[in-house]
Amino acid sequence: QSGTASAPARSRISVRNLTKTYRTRRGDVTALRNVSMDVDEGEIMVLLGPSGCGKTTLLRCVAGLEHPDAGEITVNGRTVYSSERGISLPPERRNLSMVFQSYALWPHMSVFDNVAYPLRTAKTSADEVRRRVGEVLDTVGLEKYGSSYPGQLSGGQQQRVSLARALVANQGVILFDEPLSNLDAKVRDRLREELLTLQRKIGFTALYVTHDQTEATGLGDRIAVMEVGTVAQLGSPTDIYYTPASRYVADFVGSANELTGSVAEAVGDRVRVDTSVGPLLGTPTAGMAKGEPVRVLFRPEHCLIAPDGAAAEGNRFSCTVERSTFLGSHVEYNLSASGQRLVLKTMDGNLLASGAKVAVSLDPTLARVFPAD
Ligand code: ATP
Tens of pLDDT, residue by residue over 98-135, are 998 888 899 999 999 999 999 998 888 999 999 999 99
Q: Where are the alpha helices (DSSP H) in the chain?
A: 55-63, 111-121, 126-139, 155-168, 185-202, 213-219, 237-242, 247-252
Whole-model pTM: value is 0.90
> pLDDT value at position 310?
60
Decide: 24 in ligand 1 pocket, CB within 6 A. Answer: yes
Say how far apart CA 350 and CA 279 lie, in whole Å. 28
> pLDDT value at position 178?
93
Helix (H, G, I), strand (E, B) or coil at 113: helix
Decide: 16 in ligand 1 pocket, CB within 6 A. Answer: no
Decide: 210 in ligand 1 pocket, CB within 6 A. Answer: no
53 CA: nearest ligand 1 atom: 6
ipTM, interface predicted TM-score of the complex: 0.96
Decide: 22 in ligand 1 pocket, CB within 6 A. Answer: yes
- What separation, in Å, do the N-terminal and C-terminal C-alpha atoms of the chain show? 47
Decide: 52 in ligand 1 pocket, CB within 6 A. Answer: yes
Helix (H, G, I), strand (E, B) or coil at 368: strand
Decide: 28 in ligand 1 pocket, CB within 6 A. Answer: no
- Cβ distance 213 to 252 under 8 Å? yes
- Give pLDDT tens digits for 26-62: 999 999 999 999 999 999 999 999 999 999 999 999 9
- Mutate which of 28, 35, 56, 228 for ligand 1 pocket (most atoms within 8 A of beta carbon): 56
Give DSSP secondary structure letters for 317-362.
Answer: EEEEEEEEEE-SS-EEEEEEETTEEEEEEES---PPPTT-EEEEEE
Say how far apart CA 184 and CA 177 lie, in whole Å. 17
Q: Cβ atoms within 10 A of the Cβ of 22, count?
A: 12
> pLDDT value at position 229?
96
> pLDDT value at position 1?
40
- Mutate which of 29, 209, 223 for ligand 1 pocket (most atoms within 8 A of beta carbon): 29
> pLDDT value at position 257?
95
- Give pLDDT tens digits for 56-68: 999 999 999 999 9
Decide: 57 in ligand 1 pocket, CB within 6 A. Answer: yes
Ligand 1, atom 18, lies closest to the CA of: 52
- Give pLDDT tens digits for 143-196: 999 999 999 999 989 999 999 999 998 788 999 999 998 888 888 898 899 899
The DSSP 8-state label assigned to residue 4 in this structure reads: B
Least confident of 43-47, 225-229, 253-257: 253-257
> pLDDT value at position 306?
84
- Give pLDDT tens digits for 303-352: 888 887 665 567 899 999 999 999 888 999 999 998 899 999 998 877 78
16 sits in the region (left: phi over 0; alpha: psi -120 to 50; else beta) called beta
CA 43 to chain centre: 13
Mean pLDDT score, 17-23: 97
226 CA: nearest ligand 1 atom: 6
Ligand 1, atom 17, lies closest to the CA of: 52
